[in-house]
Amino acid sequence: MRELEFIRYITRRFKIKRPVVKGIGDDCAVIKYKKNKFLLFTCDMIIEGTHFTKKTHAFEIGWKAMAVNISDIASMGGIPKYALVAAAVPRGKNIRFLKEIIRGIEKISKKFNISIIGGDTNNSEKIVLNVTLIGEAEKKHLTKRDGAKPGDLIFVTGALGEGKSKHLNFLPRLRESRILVKNFKINSMIDLSDGLAMDLNRLARASNVGACVYKSLIPLSKKSEPLEKSIFAGEDFELLFTASIAESKKIMKRMGKKEDLPITLIGEIVKRPLGVGLIEDNGKLTPLKPKGYAHF
């Protein structure tokens, strides 16, 4: 069973009750909280052999476990607040190693003003870290992946295809997310954990729309993999979002004035029957399949 299938299977099985605003199927679950605020919940598990190797520095394991969750909160327009950390490490793993994992968790938690409020420790053959992150989002700023509309322009933060070089020490795009949701009307947003191809398809399916991205517009850096790979490469943890043309103009105006918003226009949302496609340099449209980094 592939991950997408599995998630669909689970989504069908577990019916969502009030006051759950959004259950399975977005980056975070959303629950009613205060008059003007929602609570956001997300959890991500990282595992030796899948998300890092035996040789990965312990500090980076801790950093990454928290960073991927912050990225989920950022993709909903929220602010991370509290975390639960469950760690399993091999029996007899030395104390310095564990302390280094904690130092990594601590460092990024301080940076983003997150309190660790609980946890669980276990032993296992391979290292497993599960972080549950609890955040808040003002009702007016909550941004889901299902709000894209035909005519919206599509943007990404940063450069794609850098995952390989930065997935262990990346800085989640929380600052950028907050600038966006506080200053503009963002119709939909998702973080790129499994590559542009996969995550754009997720956003399009959730919003019941199609999407076209221009190959020539995809931002790459010196650290990126080649373009063909960068489109499918996972663990970029950049934000992919859409806004109406009117809002997009405001966003681009702001981009011109200040340098705090490293974003690039890459395409536009179209009607569902047009599907999700990549426009080649010669103008030809190729379907962009939801393949990429799958966990199963």
Comparison of 63 and 155: residue with beta carbon closer to a second copy: 63
Give the x-and-dash track for 276-295 against a second copy (CB under 8 A).
-------------------x
Asked if 31 interacts with a second copy (CB under 8 A), we say yes
Asked if 8 interacts with a second copy (CB under 8 A), we say no
* CA dist., res. 77 & res. 142, Å (int): 5
Comparison of 51 and 205: residue with beta carbon closer to a second copy: 51
Asked if 24 interacts with a second copy (CB under 8 A), we say yes
* CA dist., res. 181 & res. 78, Å (int): 9
Number of other CB atoms surrounding residue 155 within 10 Å: 26
Which of 102, 220, 274, 279 binds a second copy (CB under 8 A)? It is: 102
Asked if 82 interacts with a second copy (CB under 8 A), we say yes
Which of 106, 166, 255, 275 binds a second copy (CB under 8 A)? It is: 106
For 176, the token pair is: 């950028």
Asked if 98 interacts with a second copy (CB under 8 A), we say yes
* CA dist., res. 162 & res. 41, Å (int): 27
Comparison of 125 and 260: residue with beta carbon closer to a second copy: 125
| 103 and 65 Cβ atoms separated by less than 8 Å | no
Which of 36, 53, 107, 117 binds a second copy (CB under 8 A)? It is: 117
Q: Letter for the amino acid at 159? A: A
Per CB under 8 A, residues contacting a second copy are 1, 3, 6-7, 9-10, 13-17, 20, 23-24, 28-29, 31, 33, 39, 41-45, 47, 49-51, 82, 84, 86, 88, 91, 95, 98-99, 102, 106, 109, 115-126, 128, 130, 132, 134, 295-296
